[in-house]
Amino acid sequence: MRFNLGLASLLGLAGSAAAQQTWAFTDPNTGIDFQHYASKNYSFSIAVPETLGTDFIGQLVIPITSTGGWGSVSLRGGMLNSLLLVAWADGEDIKTSFRMAGSYANPDVYSGSTVNALPIANGTFVNSTHLAYTFLCENCVNSTVTNLANETPILGWAISAESPTTVTDSASALTYHGAGFGQYGLNIAAAKSSKYATWAAWASSGTTPTPPTTPGTPGGNSTLPTPITSNVTYDTIVVGGGPAGIIAAERIAESGASVLLIERGPANTVALGSSLGLPWNSSLTPYDIPSLGSSLAGLSGTTFCSDTASTAGCLLGGSSSVNGLNFIRPPSQDWQRWPAGWQWEDVSEAASRLYERNPGTTNPSADGKHYNDHTYQVLSQLVSAKGWSEVDSIESPNEKHQVFSRPAWSIKDHLRAGPARTYMPFAKELDNFTLKLNSKVIQVNRNGSAITGVLTLEADGSTQIINLKAGGKVVIAAGALSTPRVLWNSGIGRAADLAIVKSGSAQTGVTLPAEADWIDLPVGHHLQDHVQVTLQFNDASNFTAYNFKGIATEPVEDDLDLYYQGSGVITQAAQRMHLWTSVDSADGRKRFLQGTASAMSSGVITVRTFLTHGTSTVGKLGISASGNTVLETKPWLIDDNDRTAMSDFIQFWLDLTSTNNSTLTYVAPDSSVEDIISKNLISGDHWVGSAKMGVDDGRQGNGTSVVDLDTKVYGTDNLFVVDASIHPDLPTGNTQSIIMITAEHAAEKISGIKSSPTTPETPSTPTPSASSTPAASSAPSCSSKKRRSKRTFRF
């Protein structure tokens, strides 16, 4: 079980979970005979009656660190739509909470059928090193939210070294489970005992706390103290230091305006202030290393948001600092349903400016070799036999029908690229640019239609008002899952959503403008995402998977030597192939499909399949009274044509791997396509559209748009949005590059200054070595820069 990015990794463990099995164990404190699983000082044990009913006896043992901790068991393997039991210490007491996650976000308190965890006293205690919670789980064997009734159930586990946000509150938001997570197979037959009734009678009659009507606590958004007002004002305040925010802030600062960029999380590189230096190179963090891109969820210290409806990185660079580094240049078709002024011919110069600084690569190793190449060799033979063609997706971005490519990655100079590395060095050189980290913007302050500044919540719990200069602008770039919250908190959105914000003011401290000043716009509507269905195939060669996660602490010496020469497997991300095709659907729309292949578990090749450009399903993002954004309507396969296209693509993979020349077999060979979709459908975490751009003003009649063609929020004088929330359509590939192109083009409109398509080059970066400094610390040679910095960069 996991929330945010780590959840998808757990789904990837399903093929190997059966190899990790429970074993017999008798608890010395209670004498109960359990089936038992343990890892990293965590354990879960279970006993059931000889005839399985609705209850079981369980025992959670969770390690306690100097900063507390929590642990959980997922009763359905992965986290999504699984009943979770979470426990943590509150002094000498133990708090427990049943949770349920409908998406990869902080799981809400479970509000379904009544379930109880009744403690068994002689097996329940807290000491200096761990807690043990032994309990009777009433009504917990439920086929809709657990798989305990299966003959071979899979369970999941997760632990965190940090306690939940509020240890006294059983509904508290959970901290990230960076201390560990995984899955294992349960020998349910061996867990049966004739003594079960005797043991179950020891349970007390207490019940778990009643869930509140609005579960969860906001991520750092508690009741706000009286703010102080900063004595510094700015021409432009950019809210959010993700890929869009960094690009917009740097480009607007180039125009000469004074710019403040506010990021709610910490730095991502040592050069910018991160304390997460690697054991083998203190100048690099895990975020820098390409091969760790798909393993960050399992590493301690990785920073994700806990108050968003799905995955979001809460650090400088945003999700571009924590994603798998996929960097798909958008084909020209991706702009076909964008409004005038935003077609490919309009944004192509912005794309050129981006690619000069952040070009991406399909061959990051300096020696020209592709390492750990088994997956590519196996799949390329299979799809080539079906008439598919090999392309380089960077050189031929418009080729997206029955083609495959080496993965295109955001890697430069053998380090993770992205705007935090390829734009921040330019910003650092400007004395009219200021970066403010670990500061969360709660709302924009406004006087009617005029935005006057922002209200921030600082890391120490204090609040601050930061004002604009006369004629200034606020640019929101908090991401498709957080920008709506800033707008709602500022009195911008439909009345029903604003009423929820108002109802939670006692929890969040957010004070809305007077109702007469609310701006009625469809914020949160038109939410879109690439639906993802993960497929896993056993490989007859039973290869040994590369240990990507081990690179963080103890890389193989030969691999590290190669890396310091700019070559080898560490210079690559974890994916091994990208594939695309398209179908003409009955409704006249062309729908595109993508496959992303990797091998993270021994003997298992994983293909993550996506329905991308052309999908017509839309959803709705909402907000809870506690300030978390939530999925009100999930934007996946509601449309019949979407479901047909995705179903046919999955069937293609089942048929492909069933041919005589295939060494692959699907891990659950008797599964139907509908079974696979129902069990494996997850978010692609490629969210767009929650503050859509368009000419149809959302305040009028059936208008659907939140921002105009200059990205200005309708009904305001000086509030703009530049992130994925304004995108009116989904791209054919992963969203990172199109988000950056859009930000480049938007910054030009917001600043009112035409940018040159040619920008100064970032200085060359030395190949990473034990003594070298990563690219973010290098200063650009920018003779054309305005107002060059003459003082230390302000953090």
> Across residues 133-137, what is the average pLDDT?
95
pLDDT score at 66: 85
pLDDT score at 211: 32
pLDDT score at 266: 95
pLDDT score at 1: 35
E-assigned strands of 477-619?
A: 531-539, 577-584, 590-601, 604-611
Q: Which residue has the higher pLDDT, 485 or 163?
A: 485
Record the tokens describing residue 188, joined without a space. Answer: 């349910």
Among the listed ranges 304-313, 573-582, 665-674, which one has the minimum average pLDDT value?
304-313
Record the tokens describing residue 389, joined without a space. Answer: 């063609």
If pLDDT is split at 50, 70 and 90, which confidence band does 104 have?
low
CA dihedral 76, 134, 171, 678 (to 10 degrees): 10
Sequence ranges of the chain with CATH classification 3.50.50.60: 228-298+313-333+420-521+690-760+767-777
CATH fold group of domain 6-200: Immunoglobulin-like (2.60.40)
Q: Distance between CA 152 and CA 166 in Å, rounded?
A: 36
pLDDT score at 760: 41
Cβ neighbours of residue 429 under 8 Å, at least 6 residues apart?
779, 780, 782, 785, 788, 789
Cβ neighbours of residue 113 under 8 Å, at least 6 residues apart?
139, 142
pLDDT score at 2: 34
pLDDT above 50 for 558:
yes
Q: Is 586 exposed, middle or buried (0-12, 13-18, 19+ CB in 10 A)?
A: exposed
pLDDT score at 140: 93
For 449-459, write each residue's pLDDT tens digit.
999 999 999 98
If pLDDT is split at 50, 70 and 90, which confidence band does 324 have?
very high
pLDDT above 80 for 766:
no
If pLDDT is split at 50, 70 and 90, which confidence band does 212 have?
very low
Q: Is 717 exposed, middle or buried (0-12, 13-18, 19+ CB in 10 A)?
A: middle
Q: Distance between CA 711 and CA 702 in Å, rounded?
A: 19
pLDDT score at 761: 44
Record the tokens describing residue 247, joined without a space. Answer: 């690009």
Q: 603: which DSSP letter?
A: T
If pLDDT is split at 50, 70 and 90, which confidence band does 204 have?
confident
pLDDT above 50 for 7:
no
Cβ neighbours of residue 283 under 8 Å, at least 6 residues apart?
270, 271, 277, 771, 772, 773, 774
pLDDT above 80 for 778:
no
Cβ neighbours of residue 602 under 8 Å, at least 6 residues apart?
16, 542, 543, 544, 545
Alpha carbon 467 to its chain's center: 31
Query: Do residues 652 and 700 make contact, with C-beta atoms less than 8 angstroms apart?
Result: no
> Across residues 724-737, what is the average pLDDT?
98
pLDDT score at 111: 83
pLDDT score at 77: 76
Among the listed ranges 57-66, 78-87, 193-202, 463-472, which one has the minimum average pLDDT value?
78-87
Record the tokens describing residue 607, joined without a space. Answer: 């293909």
If pLDDT is split at 50, 70 and 90, which confidence band does 4 have?
very low
> ∠ CA 730-736-738 to the nearest 5 degrees?
55
If pLDDT is split at 50, 70 and 90, which confidence band does 530 have?
very high
Q: What is the DSSP string of 51-97?
A: S--S-EEEEEEEE-BTTB-EEEEETTSSSBT--EEEEEEETTEEEEE
If pLDDT is split at 50, 70 and 90, which confidence band does 759 have?
very low
pLDDT above 70 for 685:
yes
Can you tell me whether residue 287 is helix, strand or coil?
Answer: helix
| CA distances, 432 to each of 258, 260, 378, 426, 436 (Å) | 5, 8, 53, 12, 13
pLDDT score at 551: 95
Q: 732: which DSSP letter?
A: S
Half-sphere exposure for 733 (CA within 13 Å, toward CB): 29
pLDDT above 70 for 85:
yes
Cβ neighbours of residue 372 under 8 Å, at least 6 residues apart?
546, 569, 572, 576, 599
Q: 155: which DSSP letter?
A: E
> Across residues 761-777, what is the average pLDDT?
45
pLDDT score at 96: 93
Query: Model-level pTM?
Result: 0.78
Q: Which residue has the higher pLDDT, 679 or 135?
A: 135
If pLDDT is split at 50, 70 and 90, which confidence band does 786 have?
very low
Q: Which residue has the higher pLDDT, 151 or 319?
A: 319
- What sign for the dihedral angle of Cα 483, 573, 390, 605? negative
Q: Distance between CA 137 and CA 135 in Å, rounded?
A: 6
pLDDT score at 320: 96
> Across residues 762-780, what is the average pLDDT?
43
Strand partners, 49: 193
Q: Distance between CA 474 and CA 220 in Å, rounded?
A: 22
Q: Distance between CA 788 and CA 782 in Å, rounded?
A: 9
Average pLDDT, the chain: 88
For 257-298, write each residue's pLDDT tens digit.
999 999 999 999 999 999 999 999 999 999 999 999 998 877
pLDDT score at 42: 92
Q: Distance between CA 408 and CA 411 in Å, rounded?
A: 9
Q: What is the DSSP string of 542-565?
A: -PPPP-SGGGGT---HHHHHHHTT
Q: Distance between CA 320 and CA 298 in Å, rounded?
A: 17
pLDDT score at 8: 37
pLDDT score at 79: 65
Looking at the chain, the whole-number percentage of residues with pLDDT higher than 90 is 71
Query: Do residues 538 and 669 make contact, with C-beta atoms less than 8 angstroms apart?
Result: no
Q: Distance between CA 562 and CA 682 in Å, rounded?
A: 36
Query: Do residues 776 and 425 make contact, with C-beta atoms less than 8 angstroms apart?
Result: yes
Can you tell me whether residue 276 is helix, strand or coil?
Answer: coil
> Across residues 78-88, what is the average pLDDT?
84
pLDDT above 50 for 652:
yes
Q: 760: which DSSP letter?
A: P
Can you tell me whether residue 24 is helix, strand or coil?
Answer: strand
Query: In this structure, what are the phi and psi dihedrals at residue 673, rounded to the nearest 5 degrees?
Result: -60, -40
pLDDT score at 758: 38
Q: Which residue has the higher pLDDT, 571 or 601?
A: 571
Q: 667: which DSSP letter?
A: S
pLDDT above 50 for 529:
yes
Architecture, CATH, for domain 228-298+313-333+420-521+690-760+767-777: 3-Layer(bba) Sandwich (3.50)
pLDDT score at 613: 98
pLDDT score at 794: 22
Among the listed ranges 328-342, 455-469, 772-786, which one has the minimum average pLDDT value?
772-786
Task: Classify strands 192-193 and 228-229 as parallel, antiparallel or unpaired.
Answer: unpaired
For 381-405, write each residue's pLDDT tens digit.
999 999 999 999 999 999 999 999 9
Sequence ranges of the chain with CATH classification 2.60.40.1210: 6-200
Q: Distance between CA 286 and CA 321 in Å, rounded?
A: 10
Q: Distance between CA 744 and CA 755 in Å, rounded?
A: 9
pLDDT above 70 for 19:
no
pLDDT score at 9: 39
> Across residues 588-603, what is the average pLDDT?
96
Helix (H) or strand (E) holding 38: strand 33-39
